[in-house]
Amino acid sequence: MNKQSITSFLMPFIIGLAFITSAAAENKVTLLNVSYDPTRELYQAFNQSFAQNWLKLTGTVVEVNQSHGGSGKQARAVIDGLEADVVTLALAYDIDSIANLTNLIPKTWQKRLPNASAPYTSTIVFLVRKGNPRNIKDWDDLVKPGVSVIMPNPKTSGGARWNYLAAWGYALKKWNNDENKAKDFVAALYKNVPVLDSGARGSTTTFVERKIGDVLIAWENEAYLVANQTGKGEFEIVMPSLSILAEPSVTLVDGDADRHGTRKVAQAYLEYLYSAEGQEIAAKNYYRPRMESVMAKYASQFQKVELFTIDDVFNGWKAAQAKHFADKGIFDQIFQVK
């Protein structure tokens, strides 16, 4: 059947559906922020603050709708037509994918906002149960036999890719850039993982609510959220000797924002992330702020740790993705050799 005939065959049906969807226009601006899993609390607070600020500034009411899920899944939804005004994802690679597969975002998106379009940073830490019964201090303790490690699936979770790369970076440093040693190390690490959830939140639930595993490898912000709020007093955070600087990126989805006529407010929304208020909200939600004055204020909250960047060790996301996470990449190889 050719495309034409299918289209004309379905037409009456589609028009009928369109009637259902044409909701009445309202007297306010709505934005859709498509984000990844652990940012729920951050953007709940941030959206409220931004809305108040915008109302004061312009007199218009702005409502920000949120969609959360695994970073890769969310990027795919935008590619498939989820009309996001802004995306705030776990890694630049996912936004690159949107830019490459659609013309919604220009390929130079990372140059449009300061700090390579990442208004806050984070890193990868360990969360252990109270008293650290397994005595976990550093990456080496995770590959010991009998230690059960919880982390999500790097194929579906952005956070999990940061986990994987942090471990790889540590192993490279330990064995003087011997890739085979690094591969063995990461393989041994994944041997200790009993369940690979599809998203960072899934892993946290497994570790916190189902009480499975000795250690959770997680975003710093996620670990603090659990240690200080949801599971107060039951967990401790362990900072490894070396970790990766995770830079979750944000950008405007030009194609959709222009169609909705929301470019101005969407742009302001992203810029507000870099303002003192935005940076404070990020810090309060345990994301490392870029602004030095805010960082200084919350310094006691963030432990000092030696961090490497993805550009230093992996030559950027594109190379890392192709080598490690693509089909038949190193992650797949680890699971296929017994």
Partner 1 sequence: MHEPFVKKSILPGFSLSLGFTIFYLSLIVLIPLSMLFLKTSSLSFKGFIDVIMDPRTLAAYRLSFGTAFVSAGINAVFGFIVAWVLVRYTFPGKRIVDALVDFPLALPTAVAGIALTELYTPTGWVGQYLNVWGIKGAFSPFGITIALTFIGLPFVVRTIQPVLEDLDPQIEEAAASLGANRWQTLTTVILPIIFPALLAGVTLALARAIGEYGSVIFIAGNMPMKTEIAPLLIMTKLEQYDYAGATAIAIGMLLISFLLLAMANFFQWKTSKNLGKA
Partner 2 sequence: MSARTEPKIIQYFLIFIALAFFGLFIVLPLVCVFHNALAKGWGIYFKTLQDRDAIAAMKMTVVTALIAVPLNLIFGVVASWAIAKFDFKGKNFLLTLIDLPLSVSPVIAGLIFILLFGAQGLLGPWLIAHNIRIIFAMPAVILVTIFVTFPIVARELIPIMKSQGNEEEEAAMTLGASGWKTFWLVSVPNIRWGILYGIILCNARAMGEFGAVSVVSGHIRGLTNTLPLHVEILYNEYQSTAAFAAASILALLAIFTLIAKSIVEVAVRRGI
Which residue ranges make up the site for partner 2 (CB under 8 A)?
Answer: 3, 6-7, 10, 14, 17-18, 20-21, 32, 37, 40, 65-69, 77, 79-83, 101-102, 199, 201-202, 204-205, 208-209, 230, 259
Stretch of 207-215, 249-257, 277-285, 299-307 contacting partner 1, by CB under 8 A: 207-215
Closest to 96 in 3D by CA, of 36, 255, 313, 104: 104
What is the full DSSP assignment across 170-186? HHHHHTTT-HHHHHHHH
Residues 6+ apart with CB under 8 A from 276: 291, 293, 294
Considering the complex, what minimum distance in angstroms separates the CB of residue 336 from partner 2? 23
> Which one among 40, 73, 134, 137 touches partner 1, defined by CB under 8 A?
73
Number of H helices, E strands in the chain: 17, 11
Burial class (CB in 10 A: 0-12, 13-18, 19+), 24: exposed
323 binds partner 1 (CB under 8 A): no
Among 147, 188, 195, 330, binds partner 1 (CB under 8 A): 195
Phi/psi of residue 151, nearest 5 degrees: -155, 160
Q: What is the spatial distance between Cα 246 and Cα 5, in angstroms, rounded to a whole number?
A: 49
Phi, psi of 85 (to 5 degrees): -85, -40
Q: Pattern of binders to partner 1 over 227-256, x per CB under 8 A?
A: ------------------------------
Q: Which stretch binds partner 1 (CB under 8 A): 4-12, 109-117, 230-238, 305-313?
A: 4-12
User: Which residue, 292 or 327, is less far from partner 1 as judged by CB?
Assistant: 327
Contacting positions for partner 1 (CB under 8 A): 1, 6, 9-10, 13, 70, 72-73, 76, 79, 97, 101, 153, 155-156, 193-198, 210-212, 325-327, 332, 335-336
